[in-house]
Structure 1
Amino acid sequence: MVDRGAADRDATPAAAPMRDAAARPDASLPDDWPAGPGTSLALNRMGSFDWDLDSGRLHLDQGALAVLRMRPEEFDGDPTSLLGPVPRAESARLDTLISTALKDGSDSYGAYFRVRDADGSLCWTHTQGHIRRDDRGRPCRVIGILRDATDELGHSARPSGPEEFHRHQTSVVERTTAALAHARTVQDVIDFFKDPRSVEHLGSDLLVLGLVETGRIHLVAEGPAEHYIPGTLYTRVDDNLPMSDVIRTVTPRFIESREEWAACYPWLWDNIKGIGICSAAYLPLVAQGRPIGALGILYRDTRGFTQQERNLLIALSSSLAQALARAMLFDQEHDLAEGLQQAMLPRRIPDIPGAQIAVRYRSASMGRDVGGDWYDVVPLPGGRVGAVIGDVQGHDTQAAAVMGQLRIVLRAYATEGHAPGTVMARASTFLHELDTDRFATCSYAEADLSTGVVQLVRAGHIDPLLRHADGTCRRLPVAGGLPLGLSAEFGPLDYPVTTMELDPGETLLMFTDGLVEEPGADLDEGMRKLVAVVRDGPYELQSLADRLCETAGGERIGEDDMAVLLLRRHGAPARGGGRLQQHIAPADPEALSAARHMIRAAVRAWGARERSDEIELVADELVTNALLHTEGAAVVTIRMLTGPQRRVRVEVEDRSSVLPRRREPGESGVSGRGLLLVDRLADVWGVEPRGTGKSVWCEFVVPGRH
């Protein structure tokens, strides 16, 4: 019995190839059948990429390079090579989206972005990536594809039938919504409509976008740009113009013929009839019950707008209005956050004789997030200057408030004359007593510009850099303590002092982690990149500061705020007038060692190297006596006195009013030799009362410089 249904099915055109192949089992196939993945991707304008986050290397196959409009020799495996074809705004938006996916535990992401073609036009592209993570959940690799989305988002062919037109209009709304989903700022939205391809993307011949600003309508985008009509940049809401009408009445306006144009808006019609416009849809952009702007979509053909078309265009205007409202709120919050942050920073940097200083601050591009980064420069007596860089934990108004208070107390403690370690310890105690859950990292440098001696203290912060006069640059290891606030709660208030010398022409670079940290990258790698930027950067200090912000921080816009402080010592070494001071607590060998280092460096800088051993030995004896025979800390001060003779003066203060007595030690005595040694080595010495204590001092005559 014959199955007629099966016979009929076999007779259909779709079944014919299958029937023929079954009838010819030995039929030959193409040599390249089936096509490989590379061929399939290339023919469909797609490519693949593999990004190793640990090394930072990025692999793009030939198809991916073609999608990005790049030649193989233009790409070296460094992701920064993509900054050429990808516009800066697109790169920043894409970087933020990928960084968010890496941080929030996502296993994939997808985004539309634009690349620049050889003729300068922008073409739509889509990327999709799968994120691989290690056993600890840390992202280590991204594998994905790139595809050309020009036809998808920029197809300009007009649909013919009603059903096809309806599908086309629906896809216009969907694609526009997708393209604007990642627009963060008002400028991002404006840039989308300024793109010449947006006219084709919306299926129109001309478009205009106006925003309400202080009672007027500002035309912020018009495409194509060559059709700009003079006198329409700023218009009033009560003008006889379609954009004014829809904003004033909050009602869409559909113009379906030339005659309607001429009858309703004669002035505008006289200016646009030469470009062949026949119909238009003007849509109000309404957010939170009030009009914020209007969108005009203009066509060269005469058309009637069906109710379905009108509903779809109104839906388009609703999506655009929401995107604009979000962008406006983002801009307002970011301006407020940046203004608050700037108000917390010093209004001006004082002029410091003997030094050149450059500071920079760049806020994060994450809406109302206020950062806790700060810098400060504190003029100190005796030709000294204090430089501070710090970062309070968190990104909110509380972080900014804590930052402002910390900046003030650090400045006060430094101005009072406390040693760098004491300044940091007191600031940590203040933050702990502030009853906040925030901590802060900080670095403080006190520089004597007459000698070049710099005392550095670090509280959980990044090491500074030192750029030499010949342009070479290196990381400057600084002994560190716990971050401010934590040391007062969990550990000893111990901030060791690192002493170094800053020669004329050398630059000390202090910065916060926003300058060097990258998502998925090691901090040491960021430091190596920064060292390279500083080494190859300009010598002029302000230009170098600009280069740091543009080059080292430009790829991470939006991730974190950052602060930079550059201090350069200039001029020849001073002949005198220098003064250095170190506080030494009982049972504090680190402070004693730092004092020796300070004395040795100062004596060498002042040209008194031949008496260095004598000065250091006498200072040791005076400090030891003060710590053994009195209660409390000692303060050692060394200074250069000028006059008929150049003299190095060493002073050791304590809080005891008991005067020291010089006595001859016995043959087997182990004490009593200290002041005898001071008397023999110093040219002159003495004791002076100082309020609640005393100061034992001595002076050494040193030869003048030639």
Structure 2
Amino acid sequence: MVDRGASALSLPDDWPAHPDPILALNRMGGFDWDLDSGVMQMDALAHEIFDLRPDEYDGRPETLSVRVPPTEARRLDVHVSQAIKDGSENYGAYFRVRRRDGTLRWTHTQGYIRRDRTGRPRRIIGIVRDATQELSEAEGRREQAALDEARRRQTNVVQITTAALAHARTVQDVIDVLKDTHGLTHLGATSLVMGLVEAGRIRLVAEGPEGSFVPGTEVTRMDEQYPMSEVVRTLAPRFIESPEEFARSYPLLWPHITGLDITSAAYLPLIAQARPIGAMGLLYNDRRGFSAEDRNVLVALGSSIAQSLQRAMFYEQEKDLAQGLQQAMLPRSIPSVPGADIVVRYRSGSLGRDIGGDWYDVIPLPGGRVGAVIGDVQGHDTHAAAVMGQLRIVLRAYAAEGHTPATVMARASVFLHELDTERFATCLYAEVDLSTGVVQAVRAGHMDPLVRDPNGSCRRVRLEGGLPLGLSALFGRLEYPVVTFELDPGQTLLLYTDGLVEQPGIDLDDGMETLRALMSTGPADVRDLADRLIDVAEERGGEDDVALLLLRRLGLDAQRPGGRLQQLVGPGDPEALTSCRHMIRAAVDAWGARERADEVELVADELVTNALMHTEGSAIVTLRVLTGSARRLRVEVEDASSALPRRREAGEAGVSGRGLLLVDRLADVWGVEARGGGKCVWCEFTVPERDPERD
């Protein structure tokens, strides 16, 4: 205690003979400490608090050392001295007193420092009181607060983990949530192991920290002496509270994990629908033992994880089934087509079995032509995939039969309407002649194609289009206008489904502009370009499928010499006849014989008309380039009739009979050949050599 000198043991004049009644009622003792003389007078209650009889105290503070331990006395002395030095008017401090029976009791003192006019401290008047109950209650409150906080943290463990698992779709997502640094922090564990039950065995899917894999535990039997095997067998959790218990219970496993400094572990069975689907182990290196509340929380957590795992396993099974079905409906391979580099890509939606009916197809056609198809059946389920498979097959069959693009689309619409399904489909079919670059495209409610130039510029080819397949047949509007354009060597045609463009909250035109920009800035190689487009779709996410087809026409050096186009024209099909005229004119222009385009178109039209009028079947029109001593265009019209055409005079009033006269007058040479059970009427036109610079 502070020593201000020892003088006569005289009581201060104003020291009361009896303690203040209020202090006595509150079990507070009083003292008066004369700093000049060093005498500290205490009342009866103060003596009682210090457990001293009046005859055991001589008024000197150092006499209290028999009750105040040295460490407490030094701490209290520093506290009082500091208050005196820094000019404080009062102080308060807790210290312990050792009573006669040897027990320590907490005591509190509070003093008021009196100073003279110069500020010099002369006297301290204060109180002392027993603070044992007060601090016990405070300690109890702290312990209760700590217990409440621990319970809150434990509750948060389940809530936070459950919330994170709600977004996990796959088994790996569940593992990632639990192995995430924050996830392990919430769980309070150092590392995690997890196994799934498969065919009566446990397959390890999460092995804890890097480098902790135990050889031979990737797949274990149920009857082996491993903790996960045990909890799966017994359906009861296993809490290991010390390294000794771990080593004793699992001698096969313990030698391999001693380097991890594991002090305790909790292994939980993962049970869903009353059957074990796996097990999980949480390993700790900073705790021993588990309280009842710890165990309850971990069991509840295991139940939540089991439900998430089962949901993820169902999701993966459904997704595998759906993707397998859809992949079976899509072409297994894309044929190699001379004169073109063709790449396809497909990305499934992100919702389990909610697959779409997106499809693509490449159809080799006679005469160096190829058909490119992209389509999307309404809906996102296995029924949509099944309809897609049937529609793809019939559309391929109609195209292979030689029908015009408009006829192919119309017949496919009728088929879908008669399929007894409520689904409709959008589709785009483009028939490309790789020798001339002539493209004939029809659109059934689908997105317009894009064409990218070798220099990277990209444009949208607008097609007039018709109603989606199925709806056009339902409403009796089977007209599908054919749009003809040219694809120059090095240009790339893109066909795609709406999943590549449409985004929630984004205008369709903005989506098209984004796609056009991606095409313009994308890699030159079509495979790299396809990967880039599908990666963007993957990054963007979304629930819709994405299918795309890229067709790049190769340069002239990669094409066949000459060129050939062929088209089937059916009776009573005016659209086919119109499409044939467009094809011929576009091909003649592409081959550099524009000055004879009118003559070729007129002669071909006459030959086709004669075949349709005088036979009962269809006509096959073939247009080709012949090379030799002179460059020639040859038009062939085949039909199934063996009757040969004959030239006759029409007369002044005749409305027919002038066709072959017209052919004879305009063509350089013409003739008739027998073809099986039918015939072929042909004619040739001499044209100048093609000028590459002019083209």
| Band of TM-score, shorter chain | 0.7 to 0.9
Please, which of 409, 415, 424 is the counterpart of residue 439 of structure 1? 424
Q: What is the match of residue 132 of structure 1?
A: none
Relative distance call for 1:691 and 1:393 in structure 2 (3 A) is farther
Given that 1:366 and 1:558 are in contact with CA atoms closer than 8 Å, whether structure 2 keeps it comes out as no
- Check if 1:359 corresponds to 2:336: no
Amino acid at match of 1:576: G
Q: Identify which of 172, 176, 200 aligns with 1:191.
A: 176
Q: Output one character per residue of 1:605-627: Cα deviation in whole Å (capped at 9) or x when no partner.
A: 22323322322233344556667
Q: Identify the range of structure 1 (429-438 vs 603-612) with the bigger mean alpha-carbon deviation.
A: 603-612
Mark the CA change 1:163 to 1:651 in structure 2 (over 3 Å): closer, same or farther.
same
Match of 1:422 in 2: 407
Q: Could you tell me which residue of structure 1 aligns to residue 167 of structure 2?
A: 182
1:287-298 correspondence runs (5 A): 287-298=272-283
Structure 2 partner of 1:29: none
| Higher radius of gyration, 1 or 2 | 2
Matching of residue 333 in structure 1 with residue 318 in structure 2: yes
Between 251-260 and 635-644, the greater mean CA deviation after superposition: 635-644
The answer to whether the Cα contact below 8 Å between 1:648 and 1:699 also exists between their aligned partners in 2 is yes
Q: Secondary structure at the match of 1:190?
A: helix
- 1:262 is aligned, of 242, 247, 256, to 247
- CA deviations on 1:343-402 (whole Å, 9 max, x unpaired) are 111111111111111111111121112321111111112211111111111111211111
Question: Matched residues, percent identical?
Answer: 68
Cα distance in 1 for partners of 2:358, 2:180 equals: 37
Structure 1 residues 615 and 172, CA, compared in 2 at 3 Å: closer, same or farther? same
RMSD over equivalenced CA pairs, Å: 3.0
Counterpart of 1:474 in 2: which secondary structure? strand
The correspondence for 1:377, drawn from 362, 371, 392, is 362
Q: What is the distance in 1 between the residues matched to 2:521 and 2:203? A: 44
Cα 1:459–1:409 change in 2 (3 A) is same
Distance 1:620 1:380 in 2: 23
Q: Which residue identity does 1:565 align to in structure 2?
A: L
Alignment-derived partner of residue 313 in structure 1: 298
Instruction: Give matches, 1:549-568, under 5 Å.
Output: 549-551=534-536, 553-568=537-552
* Alignment correspondent of 2:69: none
| Secondary structure of the corresponding residue to residue 566 of structure 1 | strand
Any conservation in 1 of the 2:564–2:622 contact (CA below 8 Å)?
Answer: no
Partner of 2:603: 618
Amino acid at match of 2:331: P
- Any conservation in 2 of the 1:194–1:222 contact (CA below 8 Å)? no
What residue ranges of structure 1 are gaps of 5+ in the alignment?
A: 1-157
Q: What is the CA deviation profile of residues 152-204 of structure 1, one whole-angstrom value per residue up to 9, with x for unaligned ones? A: xxxxxx99843432232122111111111111111111111221221111133
Contact 1:465 1:476 in 2 (8 A): yes
Write the distance in 2 (CA, Å) between the matches of 1:258 and 1:575. 82
Q: Which deviations, in whole Å up to 9, do the C-alpha atoms of 1:436-478 show, x marking residues without a partner?
A: 1111111111112122212112111111111112221111112
Tell me, yes or no, if structure 1 residue 251 matches structure 2 residue 221.
no
Q: Which residue of 2 aligns with 1:571?
A: 555
Work out the CA distance in 2 between the residues paired with 1:542 and 1:630.
48
Instruction: Quote how far apart the aligned CAs of 1:239 are.
Output: 2.9
The question of whether the paired residues in 1 share the 8 Å contact of 2:581 and 2:601 is answered with yes
Contact 2:395 2:409 (8 Å CA) reproduced? yes
Code of the aligned partner of 1:170: T
For the residue of structure 1 that corresponds to 2:603, the secondary structure is helix
- 1:507·1:568 contact (CA, 8 Å) conserved in 2? yes
- List aligned pairs for 1:260-659, cutoff 5 A: 260-551=245-536, 553-572=537-556, 574-581=560-567, 583=569, 588=574, 593-622=578-607, 636-652=621-637, 659=645
CA contact (8 A) 1:208 1:297 kept: yes
1:237 aligned residue: 222
Aligned partner of 2:179: which letter? K
Classify 1:615/1:261 alpha carbon distance in 2 versus 1 (closer, same or farther; 3 Å).
Answer: same
- Hey, what's the Cα distance between the residues in 2 that align with 1:398 and 1:324? 28
Alignment partners' CA distance in 1, 2:442 and 2:622? 18
Pairwise CA distance, 1:275: 4.0
Between the aligned partners of 2:467 and 2:554, the Cα distance in structure 1 is: 33
Give the AA of the match of 1:340: L
Instruction: Give the whole-Å Cα distance in 1 for the aligned partners of 2:468 and 2:268.
Output: 55
8 A Cα contact 2:570 2:619, kept in partner? yes
Q: Measure the CA separation in 2 of the matches of 1:490 and 1:651.
A: 37
Q: CA deviation at 1:664?
A: 5.5
CA drift of 1:628 comes to: 7.8
Q: Distance in 2 between matches of 1:505 and 1:355?
A: 9
Structure 1 pair 448/293, CA: closer, same or farther in 2 (3 Å)?
Answer: same
Q: Distance in 1 between matches of 2:173 and 2:676?
A: 66
Asked if the contact 1:193/1:221 (under 8 Å) is kept, the reply is no
C-alpha distance in 2 between matches for 1:298 and 1:193: 13
TM-score w.r.t. structure 2 length? Answer: 0.72
Aligned length: 546
Residue 364 of structure 1 aligns with an amino acid whose one-letter code is G
Report the secondary structure of 2:162's partner residue: helix
Q: Report the CA distance between 1:598 and its aligned residue.
A: 1.7
TM-score, structure 1 length as denominator?
A: 0.71
Amino acid at match of 1:580: Q
- Following superposition, the deviation at residue 687 of structure 1 comes to 5.5
1:481 & 1:515 partners in 2: Cα distance?
21
Query: Compared with structure 1, are the counterparts of its residues 578 and 634 closer, same or farther at alpha carbon in structure 2 (3 Å cutoff)?
Result: closer
> Who is 2:192 aligned against?
207
- Deviation string 1:186-244 (CA, Å, 9 cap, x unpaired) is 11111112212211111333333232344443433355546555655444433322222
| One-letter identity of the residue aligned with 2:226 | L
With 421-430 and 255-264 compared, the bigger mean Cα shift is at 255-264
State how 1:97-246 maps to structure 2 within 5 Å. 161-222=146-207, 224-225=209-210, 232-246=217-231
Q: CA deviation at 1:636?
A: 4.4
- 8 Å CA contact 2:570, 2:617 repeated in 1: no
- Counterpart of 1:210 in structure 2: which amino acid? G
Secondary structure, aligned partner of 1:481: coil
Return the alpha-carbon distance in structure 1 between the equivalents of residues 571 and 655 of structure 2: 24
CA distance in 2, matches of 1:206, 1:577: 69
SS in 2 for 1:366: coil
Query: CA 1:240 to 1:251, structure 2 compared with 1: closer, same or farther past 3 Å?
Result: same
In structure 2, C-alpha distance between the alignment counterparts of 1:634 and 1:234, rounded to whole Å: 67
